[in-house]
């Protein structure tokens, strides 16, 4: 049984005044990330919602901002979803963590931190989930470019030299040119042929 976002919004407004929000695609867009905890805590405890089950936490990169999307359901009342959205700037994105309310957010927030770089403040163990700690960048951001592992860069050549390994002249020259232009060896994005 789906819930109407308008209705949920007016209920939150009466119970928790001061939360700025609007309805967007039958979901609730919280205008300030700080309000997320209050809104979620209300939905979880209010007797006519009892949103006790956080099904999914995910993020989307909309180029101008990052959005974190939460799908809440109620196991007790068998209703849902109530969808919450929070938007944060791409530079230094910070959202309060829901792990205190829902343990189920633990791994999903780590996944978003790993792949989008969103920092969930208050998460007990915010580490990368899939990639290694020294990995640079966040692959699900739209501006992420994969480095080309086949092409050597100047730093690689220096490493080879330090270890006394010779490298072909053309490869060397290409690496130096890249450095001169201030570029990195970037893998070419495969065409749009996918069928």
Partner 1 sequence: MHRTSVRDRNEIDTQTLEINFGPQHPSTHGVFRMHVVLDGETIVSLKPVFGYLHRNHEQIAENITYLASMPYTDRLDYLNAMTNNFGYALAVEKLASIEVPERAQYLRVIMAELTRLVNHMALIGFLLNDLGAFFTPVLYAFREREKILDLFEEISGSRMMCNYFRFGGVKRDVSDGQLAEIQKLVEAFPRFLDEFEALLAKNEILCMRCQNVGVLSPALAVNASLTGPVLRASGVSYDLRKVDRYSLYDRFDFRIPLGAKGDTYDRYYVRVLEMHESVKILRQALRGLPAGDTMNKKMLPFLKAPRNFKPPVGDAYGRIESPKGELGYYVVSDGSPQPWRYHVRAPSLINVTVLEDLCVGHKIADAIIILGSIDIVLGEVDR
Q: Specify the stretch interacting with partner 1 by CB under 8 A; choose among 33-41, 97-105, 150-158, 166-174.
A: 97-105
Using rule CB under 8 A, residue 41 touches partner 1: no
Residue of 23, 46, 58, 65 that binds partner 1 (CB under 8 A)? 58
Helices 36-45, 5-15: axis angle to 10 degrees equals 100
Q: How many CA within 13 A on the CB side of residue 168?
A: 5
d(CA 88, CA 34): 11
**CB 45 to partner 1: min, Å:** 13
**CB 149 to partner 1: min, Å:** 15
Helices 169-181, 154-162: axis angle to 10 degrees equals 130
d(CA 33, CA 56): 18
Residues 172-191 that bind partner 1 (CB under 8 A): 189-190
Using rule CB under 8 A, residue 81 touches partner 1: yes
Note the residues at the interface with partner 1 (CB under 8 A): 25, 52-56, 58, 60-61, 69, 71, 75, 78, 81, 83, 102-108, 111, 115, 128-132, 139-140, 189-190, 192, 194-195
């Amino acid at each position: 049984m789906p819930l109407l976002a308008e209705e949920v919004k007016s209920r939150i407004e009466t119970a928790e005044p001061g939360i700025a929000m609007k309805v967007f695609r039958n979901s609730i867009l919280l205008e300030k990330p700080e309000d997320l905890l209050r809104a979620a805590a209300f939905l979880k405890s209010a007797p006519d919602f009892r949103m006790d089950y956080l099904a999914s936490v995910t993020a989307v990169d909309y180029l101008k901002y990052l959005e974190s999307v939460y799908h809440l359901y109620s196991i007790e009342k068998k209703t849902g979803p109530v969808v919450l959205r929070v938007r944060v700037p791409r530079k230094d994105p910070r959202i309060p963590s829901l792990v205190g309310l829902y343990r189920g957010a633990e791994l999903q927030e780590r996944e978003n931190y790993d792949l989008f770089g969103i920092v969930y403040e208050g998460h007990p163990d915010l580490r990368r989930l899939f990639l290694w700690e020294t990995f640079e960048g966040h692959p699900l951001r739209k501006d992420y470019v994969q480095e080309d592992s086949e092409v050597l860069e100047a730093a690689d050549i220096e490493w080879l030299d330090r270890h006394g390994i010779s490298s072909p002249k053309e490869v060397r020259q290409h690496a130096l040119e890249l450095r001169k232009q201030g570029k990195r060896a970037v893998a070419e994005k495969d065409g749009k042929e996918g069928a």
